[in-house]
Structure 1
């Protein structure tokens, strides 16, 4: 039996690329992949398939990082991947799958967890630590005897514990950029890892006061440029060490480099701190506080001040029910009583369970066209309709079949069998919906529309929740949401629909833990 191997684009923007047995194939910016992005090299990735062992050797050649399941590859390092591995020609973009035909004999579809991309890294400064944790462990330090760096979850989180750090029931937590430090250059973003100075002269004094009052002082910082490969972690480590030396007290620093559970406002850094890095001491949340500059303050909240880049710090504090301070409030004693602050676009605690609308199921054979953002709840609604109709309704989904033409062919076949059809796609404009009203007319069946009432911010929240829960959905970036918003036209009966039904999002959770996460702020604005 001859086995073939292909690199298949998830969006079907180009034909599958054949990967012959034991032949190096270079892919990148080209007419074949239809990638025009100048940040992608023409020779971005080297791929060599072993069709006997069902293994593909992958090497990033290009300057900018490629990805494997959302994690950055290292340039010129060799990785071995198997059937259905997800390759990102540029990190988080131009997503492809490795496919062997036929699949490996021992392959069975499973819910895939993230793949380990780089070895766990633990660096000990000044003196080597005697204990080397396994890949899933986190060191517990009662009183740090040396400066220790740790890498958690393949570098999604880095932790620096300086000598002298002690656990405590009281935590004084601070953001870093814009809170403890600012740029020397005056630019919004630092030009390099040396472009920093203390944000306020009183920073060392105020932090020392917290230490003397029995607090453990920690820094919680989002640093996406590290995860994207724009900043070297080794350079950033030196920046942190220099900052802690400048403040001159023991500090524990948490650095979130990815987009997942550790990134503020999600509580991953805090949970790691209290569950694994505090020697089992229960934390008195009423005594803890968090200080950060991302508070959602609007433009000119003080004369000449720009608006805050986000509200991630304030929302983290709200998620954890911590007392929150802005830097000016904590370090300078300013009042924020009259400071205007924006509100989040979406408040997850306001989402309520909605009863199923029985009018969505008709006695007549029909095409039911769903309309809504990615993540608006269309697929869940389709499954509900299928089940409640005893599978009289069957869903056609473009994410599964690959194109609207294939969906239309499948819909025609189902209608001929006497089934009703649910069209599970975003269908934002009249043109995309007219395909289904025309098909319904040709097939002499009714066509109705179910419009999801889910807002853009709510859908983005749902998408973020799916990523955090590692639910089997393709990641959706902001470009897709903005494209939908720009194309969207309100569906009406004038298009040929017998009726347009508005459907509210109806959440469903597997357990209390997932529900608690969903009710937290997951977006940064």
Structure 2
């Protein structure tokens, strides 16, 4: 009797892949598997079936880990699996089942066993198929990580270390690292190298062990920009993390954000990966979970001789997520924070409300309307609104597009000669920069008015960060530009030659609920 072997997709998203006897087959990102995930290699795994002994040899070839029955594989190591083994092309994703036809004599019916696998993987099926399925945590058999392993997410933007024994949970005990779990041996603010560290408090190991015993999954969420900037080698930093976990001596999952994007605190990217992809589909109990970090916005001398916190990133992350928050001294030493003075953010995004469009921004007479405001204050959006609401009787000229004020002035002259009104979409912080436009208006014998955006510096910086996170097509703006505008700014008045100065509040607009939800989170660290 001849026997066949197939690799079948658990979700039936593609036809079974034939595994001929004693032939090496490569599986990964391809049209056959319909896997488009760039973190999956084209030759992610190799499989060689022995149809006589009903054994398949599997080897991970890709950079990111594949999985076998929920456990991560080691790269280039050969594993032997049998009938109905569950293979994850990427760990916990793209689940396939090995099936021999006819099956070995000692196997239970395929349908019964497949049903059991589907019960365990309800959460993954829900994500891939976008179906509403009942999920019962009582029926989910959780497994511990068999060994230490590292993963990369979005190239080099996020690194994840899962130590041996890590187990998913509905309760998460999350901690910052620097200044919370460890401090420098040298006494300097920043470590001189990856060996310059010691535990911040003697109670760190015992307190974390206590959380583990109480059913929490212990995780570390750490911003590490020096890695992204190339000042620290990731291989050296990995050793630091492994040594820290060994020192604490409990299973810990560590998240390292190396860039400035969605994973960096206080934005919720690391938490989102943790809860949606790295917790075996378990829903996290946000009321039972907590976050502990030293970046709480405490002011100078919050305790005798203590410096102010370098940022508010940890406290703001907790507020973004709705998590209970502790300072390290509060959690590890039992200190009260009731009388500890903490600064508040200059801009609170969830308090922002939409404002109706001011129809007075449009005039029946031909004119030049000069916008004034920080980069990111909403000038370009306002200019576009005016263009559309005026049926394009107004046309904007933008220095970011044309390159210089001289080119903007030439384009404005041409538009005025055609009978159009002009919106000047530039920062125009001082009298000198605005005088160019009042002079042109006088020369062209048209009115000149000013629309000053009331958007604050911190609000504009928030908007700029939101643009970066949403990858909106705008030129990047660094903090130096914001500081420069603030230093140059002079309040516009009618004495400069403006017929009128109108104050305009920022009016947010969102393409979807997810964008609005992100915008209303704290995105700045201070």
Verify same fold: TM over 0.5. Answer: yes
Residue 135 (structure 1) shift: 11
1:379 aligns with 2:386: no
The 3-state SS of whatever aligns with 2:254 is strand
* Compared CA separation, residues 138 and 409, structure 1 to 2 (3 A): farther
The 3-state SS of whatever aligns with 1:384 is helix
Deviation sequence 1:150-171 (CA, Å, 0-9, x none):
0100110000000000000000
**Aligned length in residues:** 410
Kept in 1: contact 2:275–2:284 (CA 8 A): yes
For residue 422 of structure 1, what is the aligned residue in structure 2? 423
RMSD over aligned Cα atoms: 2.2
Kept in 2: contact 1:126–1:147 (CA 8 A): no
The 3-state SS of whatever aligns with 1:343 is coil
For residue 163 of structure 1, what is the aligned residue in structure 2? 164
Residue 133 (structure 1) shift: 5.4
- Give the structure-1-normalised TM-score: 0.75
The 3-state SS of whatever aligns with 1:448 is strand
- Give the structure-2-normalised TM-score: 0.75
Q: d(CA) in 2 for partners of 1:229 and 1:137?
A: 31
Runs of 4+ in 1 over 2 A off after TM superposition: 118-142
Deviation sequence 1:472-506 (CA, Å, 0-9, x none):
11111101111111111111111110110000000
For residue 392 of structure 2, what is the aligned residue in structure 1? 391
| 1:195-206 aligned within 5 A | 195-206=196-207
For residue 16 of structure 2, what is the aligned residue in structure 1? none
| 1:88-487 aligned within 5 A | 121-122=63-64, 128=75, 142-487=143-488
Q: d(CA) in 1 for partners of 2:422 and 2:520?
A: 33
1:516 aligns with 2:517: yes
Kept in 2: contact 1:138–1:152 (CA 8 A): no
User: Mind listing any 5+ residue stretches in structure 2 that lack a counterpart?
Assistant: 1-37, 43-61, 67-71, 80-86, 96-123, 125-141
Kept in 2: contact 1:371–1:425 (CA 8 A): yes
Deviation sequence 1:35-54 (CA, Å, 0-9, x none):
xxxxxxxxxxxxxxxxxxxx
For residue 491 of structure 1, what is the aligned residue in structure 2? 492
Question: Computing the radius of gyration over CA atoms, which structure comes out larger, 1 or 2?
Answer: 2
* Compared CA separation, residues 400 and 292, structure 1 to 2 (3 A): same
Residue 122 (structure 1) shift: 3.9
Kept in 2: contact 1:220–1:269 (CA 8 A): yes
For residue 10 of structure 1, what is the aligned residue in structure 2? none
The 3-state SS of whatever aligns with 1:221 is strand
Q: d(CA) in 2 for partners of 1:508 and 1:137?
A: 35
Residue 199 (structure 1) shift: 0.1
Structure with the higher fraction of residues in helix conformation: 2
Q: d(CA) in 2 for partners of 1:357 and 1:461?
A: 23
Deviation sequence 1:194-215 (CA, Å, 0-9, x none):
0000000110000000000000
The 3-state SS of whatever aligns with 2:221 is strand
Q: d(CA) in 1 for partners of 2:406 and 2:94?
A: 51
The 3-state SS of whatever aligns with 2:353 is coil
